[in-house]
Structures are given as C-alpha cells and as structure tokens.
Amino acid sequence: MNPFPKLDEKDTRSGFGAGLLEAGQRDPNVVALCADLTGSLKMDAFAKAFPDRFVQVGVAEANMMGIAAGLTIGGKVPFTGTFANFSTGRVYDQIRQSIAYAGKNVKICASHAGLTLGEDGATHQILEDIGLMRMLPGMSVVVPADFNQTRQATLAIAVHEGPVYLRFGRPKWPVFIPADMPFEIGKAQVLVRGTDVSIFACGHLVWRALQAAEALQAEGIRAEVINVHTIKPLDVAAVLDSVERTGCAVTCEEHNRHGGLGDAIAQVLACHRPTPQEYVAVNDLFGESGTPDQLLRKYGLDTPDIVAAVQRALTRK
C-alpha cells in the first residue's frame, strides 16, 4: 500500500513559480532573471509582483549567469530561470568561474530537465546536468519530487547561503508530498520503510519508485523508498543506514547513468559499505521526441524497469 496517495496532478515548474513568488515576498533581496522563458518557467507572477526585481535578459544565458553573479555582490539573492540544458551545459564555464569558484550566492533554477520534456526531443532533453553540476566544488544540487516539494525547495534555497542547482520539469505529474512535510536541504526522506531493498530515487522517478514498491509488495518484497531530493550534499548517513538494513540498492533517476544520483550513491557504497547496486537510468544515450510516458518506457525508466532492477539486485545479495 503506497502511504503517499496521489493528491493532485501539477507540474513541478509551477511549484518553482509559486515558491519564487513567496520567496520574493519574504525577502526584498530576492531577484529573478530569465532568458526569454518567463512563461515556461512560471516566473510571470514574480515578474508582475516585482517588476524592478525581475531582469529579462533575452536569449543570452551566459550573460544571465554573469549578471546574477554580479547582483550577489550587492547582497541580492538572484534566481536564474531557463531550461536545464541552457542552465548548465551551455553556460558551464560562466557557472564554474563566476559563480562556483567565486563562491557567489546564485540559485540556478532549471526546468524541462530529462526525458519528460517530451516532444521537443534530445536537443532540449539534457540528461547530463546533474553530473555537470555536482562536479563543481561548493555547488549544491537539489532535485525535488513533485509540485509541493519544488515549492518547498525553492523557499529553502532562498535562505541557503551558496550556489545551488535546482532541477525540475515540464509535465503535469502526481502530487504526493504533503505540503506541510518538512523539507531540509541535504536530508533524504524515507517515504516507505522496507527490509529487502533500498530504492533511492530523485525527481519525477520518486513517484515511479513508490509505484514499484507497491507492486513489489504484492510479490512479498518489502522495498524501502528513499527520496534523495538533494544529490549534493548527499545524505550519506541515510544511504548507509538504509543499506545496512536491506543489503542491496536500486537507484532511479531521469539522467544518464554516468554522473548522476546512481554514481553519487555508488561512490558512497564503494567507500563505506560495498553493496550490490542496480541502476535505473538512461543507458548513455540521447533522448528523442515522444510523450513523457512513452519515453520513460522506451528508455527503461518506468515502474516495471524499477521492479526488474530490484529483482536483479536481490539475486546479488
């Protein structure tokens, strides 16, 4: 039985938009920048409420990152908004030098991440961004699971000192995290307790992991589901605590199998407690056009894929 029933269906980017408006109301130093995607990023409410604190930079993401870095010098808390592809790969060196190395308090907010962007296809479906961002010293990487959590995460990063990469998505997706559930950067959430396998998931795949756990329960397998909404800094204690009890792990992410959540957890396991681990991730491929559900199925990120990964992991215990 899934203890987190579906409450609603909303896009995580709208959770960002709601959180940004609220963050702006709470702190007059919060400013926002957007590269010609105000509607897509749901930043219009902020732009309307605080026109003096909203900077439209046009289709010029490199400049946006630099302006954001400069704004921090006057004590501002800038949130940049564009698609995940243009928030990372396109501007990697700007983020590296002017934000990460310079230690600037910029919040890089990235929508339309992963395959579930859908029909726009592989040019826009970045599957490498978590890896790119978690390699930067000092950069926090947050990948919330649903609308409510994206709103909470947006508010949390606004009061967190230091650069943050916040990754969310485009499609309407089940809302299942209660709006009042505590959220803390760097603190993983055990959503379902189990003893046979630890399923670590982030972003959209947390919902799929819950569904998989439910399916596994029917087969008598008790899976633990952990929402790793912060990939960096990783909640090492939570990871080790869980595998200590279950003895095997499955990681689920809408990302290339190289560099993302799975690798972050594999590193912890290899260094602290060697444990069988299976990956549910894109197998070193680019995506393509299609609906989110079709793409998750084709690229092996769907609920049956998680179930199959669990069964493989169990045989390796």
Partner 1 sequence: MPAPNAAPSKASRASTDDLARTCSQVRRDIIRMVHAVQSGHPGGSLGCTEFMVALYFKVLRHDPAHWSMDGAGQDLFFLSNGHISPVWYSVLARSGYFPVQELATFRRLDSRLQGHPTTHEGLPGVRMASGSLGQGLSVAIGAAMAKRLNGDPHLVYSLHGDGELQEGQVWEAAMSAAAHKVDNLIATVDWNGRQIDGDVDQVMPLGDLPAKWRAFGWDVLEMNGNDLADVLRGLDEARSRTGHGRPVAILMRTEMGQGVDFMTGSHHWHGVAPNDEQAARALAQLPETLGDY
Q: Which residues are catalytic?
A: 61
Q: Is 151 in the site for partner 1 (CB under 8 A)?
A: no
Q: What are phi and psi of 27, to 5 degrees?
A: -135, 115
Determine which residue in the list 42, 53, 232, 255 makes contact with partner 1, applying CB under 8 A.
53
Neighbours of 136 (CB within 10 A): 19
Q: Is 98 in the site for partner 1 (CB under 8 A)?
A: yes
Q: Is 43 in the site for partner 1 (CB under 8 A)?
A: no
Q: Is 57 in the site for partner 1 (CB under 8 A)?
A: yes
Q: How far apart are CA 315 and CA 311, in angstroms?
A: 7
Least separation in angstroms between CB 104 and partner 1 = 8
Question: Which of 63-71, 82-90, 221-229, 248-256 is the region at the interface with partner 1 (rule: CB under 8 A)?
Answer: 63-71
Least separation in angstroms between CB 160 and partner 1 = 18
Determine which residue in the list 32, 41, 67, 250 makes contact with partner 1, applying CB under 8 A.
67
Least separation in angstroms between CB 135 and partner 1 = 16
Least separation in angstroms between CB 39 and partner 1 = 20
Q: Is 63 in the site for partner 1 (CB under 8 A)?
A: yes
Q: How far apart are CA 108 and CA 95, in angstroms?
A: 9
Determine which residue in the list 21, 31, 110, 269 makes contact with partner 1, applying CB under 8 A.
31
**Which of 122, 116, 129 has the alpha carbon at shortest distance from 294?**
116
Instruction: Give the length of the chain.
Output: 317
Q: How far apart are CA 141 and CA 202, in angstroms?
A: 11
Q: What residues line the site for partner 1 (CB under 8 A)? A: 31, 52-53, 55, 57-58, 60, 62-76, 78, 93-94, 96-98, 101-103
